[in-house]
Structures are given as structure tokens and as C-alpha cells.
A and B are shown apart, each in its own frame.
Chain A
Amino acid sequence: GAGVSQSPSNKVTEKGKDVELRCDPISGHTALYWYRQSLGQGLEFLIYFQGNSAPDKSGLPSDRFSAERTGGSVSTLTIQRTQQEDSAVYLCASSLDWDRGNQPQHFGDGTRLSIL
């Protein structure tokens, strides 16, 4: 498909385990974003990648959260030593280079993470 692809779609794990969430952006999109939506909450920004620039990590809630983007395409969000409050839907979005002007972000369907 041509959209943003996220895997897995659902993940259930025990408290204290590490998890990796994957995002495959739309081909040609240089900007990639991670958000999360906790139950009953709006979407919350986590981290942003744009080309070869240093990522904007200002939204990461703790040092247990990290993300990488290899080769300017696929991104992995890693949560170490998961806690129950990490349970949420993690959404990835991508957009064209915003140096071209304002660009809408296009979202994947998310990974629903449940910490037991």
C-alpha cells in the first residue's frame, strides 16, 4: 500500500519488558513523527525526524523512550522497562519536507500497546 505502515498492530507485554514498534513511512516523505494517544486523551507528540537533522526529542516522556530512523526511511520506537502507564496507541506519521511549505502529516493505523 501507499500509506504509512506500522507493526505490530497490537502488542501485549508484561511490565518491565522492552518493546519495539516499527514505522514505515510513505515513500518520498522525509519527515517522520511519533505520537501517542492514551485512553481518553488527545494525541501527544513524542519525537520528530527530518532528513539528516538531529531529531526533535522534546516530547519523549522519559529516558526509557528512544527512537531511531535508519537510512532516512524506517523508524523504530523503543520503550525499555515498560510501565502500565505506557499503555496507549502509538501513532506514526510522515510528511513531505516542510521546507516546501506547510505539509499535512499522514498517519498510520497505530500500534495498540497494552502493558499487563
Chain B
Amino acid sequence: DQQVKQNSPSLSVQEGRISILNCDYTNSMFDYFLWYKKYPAEGPTFLISISSIKDKNEDGRFTVFLNKSAKHLSLHIVPSQPGDSAVYFCAASASHQGAQKLVFGQGTRLTINP
């Protein structure tokens, strides 16, 4: 039972364009959502997060959108840069249940083409 799903294993985008990464979840108890970026042989790097009381959070080129009714979140990167090429993981937690253990999606490999 995969509670967090990233249905696109890969995505290719031209440099300068917008990258949109999608994530769906099934557990309605999740109330905190995060996006991580991972390069090979390195640990995941925190990018941006959003609490369920919001529907949008923006940080520079990165914006996360949350649609609670659809149990869907997305990460927008604009403009995309070659250094954005990495694997992106979305993660969720049900913080009110005590431990903020994260449930991760399978990841989406983003490739930015020059």
C-alpha cells in the first residue's frame, strides 16, 4: 500500500522552461508535505515544504501547490536550470500522530536539457 505516489519516473524539460513534478497521496491524515532533491551518492536535500493549512508556498524558483481535496501536490521550478537535474522525492507526514516520520514517493528523475 503506497501512500505517496509519484507516477512519473522521469521528466525531461528544456532549460529556461517550467518543470512541474507531481505527487499524489492517499492518507488523509497527512498534514505536512516536503520536496527533496537528490544527486547520486548524496543524501536528499530539503527544498521546500507546505503545511496542510496552506495551498501554496513559494521560495525563489520553487513553488509547491497543495490540493487537499484531490490529495495532490506539485512542485514548480521556473525557470529550470541544468543544475536542477536530479531525482526529486515528495514526502508526507502526519505530524499530529506524534512522530514526524516521513513517507516518501518513489521519486521522479528530472533532466534539464540545454
Contacts and interface: CB of A to CB of B under 8 A. Distances in A.
Interface residues of B, number: 26
A107 B44 contact: yes
B101 A48 contact: yes
A105 B98 contact: no
A104 B46 contact: yes
B100 A42 contact: no
Contact of A95 (B42, B91, B100): B100
Interface in A39-54: 41-45, 48, 50
Contacts of B107: 42
B34 interface: yes
B105 to A, nearest CB: 6
A89 B16 CA distance: 33
**Interface size for chain A: under 10, 10 to 19, 20 to 34, or 35 or more residues?**
20 to 34
A59 interface: yes
Given A43-B89, A56-B98, A108 B103 contact: no
A35 to B, nearest CB: 8
A58 B100 CA distance: 13
Nearest to B103: A45
Nearest to A59: B101
Nearest to A112: B41
Nearest to A48: B99
B27 to A, nearest CB: 14
A93 B107 CA distance: 18
A31 interface: yes
Contacts of B36: 107
B43 interface: yes
Interface in B62-114: 89, 91, 93, 95, 98-107
Interface of B: 4, 32, 34, 36, 41-46, 49, 51, 89, 91, 93, 95, 98-107
19 contacts: A4-B43, A33-B102, A42-B4, A42-B104, A42-B107, A43-B102, A43-B104, A44-B104, A48-B100, A91-B43, A102-B100, A104-B49, A105-B102, A107-B36, A107-B44, A107-B45, A109-B41, A109-B42, A109-B43
